[in-house]
Amino acid sequence: MNKKLLFKSLMVFIFSFSGLNAFAAIDWVGNMFPSSGSSTTITEGTDHTVYVQVYKDGVTNSAGQGAGIMCELYYGDVDAFGMPWNNVFTQAMTYNVDIGNNDEYQATIAPGANLYELTCRCSDDGGTSWTFADLPSGNAMLTVDASLPVELSDFSAYQKANEVELHWITQNEIANRFFAIEKSIDLRSWEIITEIEGQGTFYFEQEYNFIDENPYQGLNYYRLKQVDFNGDYSYSETISIEFRKSGINVFPNPIDEFLNINLEATRDATVEIFNLHGQLIQFVNIENEDNEAINMLGLNSGVYLIRVIDKSGFQLFNEMIIKR
């Protein structure tokens, strides 16, 4: 036989044998979830779980994990979906459950911020050959957004008597060392008035409060400077509050009979009394008076909200009191 013909015949045989080994051993891999062609977006640090089913006649039909089968999550980062993979990663999948004659496998990953395409593959010869998931619509797509060191869901300021209370809520904190509270009256010059220790890395809601005992008369601007352990920092939005010294004194607390209102500089005001259900149960208009004594004998024992408002509608006082 001609040597070239012999070599060609041998290559055809090897190709045919390898084809049987790669495509005939595992009958089918598919039913990925998230499914092929789908697009999912998560935040860096969030787990992403993928499921796939595999079928091999006479192996996965019976109850429990089919012998000799291994599956992997197979994925790579891309510059854009449909482009060549820059890197290839594999993650071993574990048997999860029987679904009919199929075995289902799962894997959980938490990749860094990037764009990814992914699929699944299974083998019954220790990884020498693989059968990839049937993908009529292409690989699944995954976008991982960079996580913010701190996810701030609320930042607000309130006047309480002659102070300003700052309140903020975080949903997640990653390597958060501390918050510096900065204050300004002109949005150009800022002063740090305190530092509040952060939670480090914390994946639950956390509330913070701080009392500024020396606010400026008029507009006060506040912002949070969040500082990581590595020294990186970022700023929150800037909030503002118009502070007006109330010059008001409400006493005693708790009370037995009369609630005394000392208006000092303010001469006209309205006193409102609410129960804990938010119902207005009493109000008194004060005109051209420095002091007012409100009879509380008719109220049941309990907790009430006292609010004092000047004639322009500005809230001078807003506190809980106890009626004995």
Residue 301's pLDDT is what? Answer: 92
Whole-number Å distance between alpha carbons of 124 and 143 = 31
Where do the domains of the chain lie? 3-145, 150-243, 249-323
Residue 76's pLDDT is what? Answer: 95
Residue 64's pLDDT is what? Answer: 95
Residue 11's pLDDT is what? Answer: 33
Residue 78's pLDDT is what? Answer: 93
CATH topology agreement for domains 3-145 and 150-243: yes
Whole-number Å distance between alpha carbons of 7 and 4 = 5
CA 257 from centroid of its chain's CA atoms? 49
Whole-number Å distance between alpha carbons of 35 and 30 = 9
DSSP string, 93-124: EEEEEEETTEEEEEEEE-PPSEEEEEEEEEES
Residue 138's pLDDT is what? Answer: 85
**In terms of Cα–Cα distance, which of 322, 312, 305, 277 is closest to 160?**
305
Residue 283's pLDDT is what? Answer: 87
3-state DSSP assignment of residue 17: helix
How much is the pTM? 0.46
Query: Which CATH architecture fits 249-323?
Result: Sandwich (2.60)
CATH C-level class of 3-145 = mainly beta
Fold of 150-243: Immunoglobulin-like (2.60.40)
Give yes or no for a contact between 74 and 120, defined as CB atoms under 8 angstroms apart: yes
All residue ranges of the chain with pLDDT < 50 are 1-24
Structure-token pair, residue 117? 């395409």
186: part of which helix (H) or strand (E)?
none
DSSP string, 209-248: EEEESSPPSEEEEEEEEEEETTS-EEE---EEEEE-----
Residue 267's pLDDT is what? Answer: 64
Residue 40's pLDDT is what? Answer: 92
> Torsions phi, psi of 202, nearest 5?
-150, 120
79: which DSSP letter?
A: S
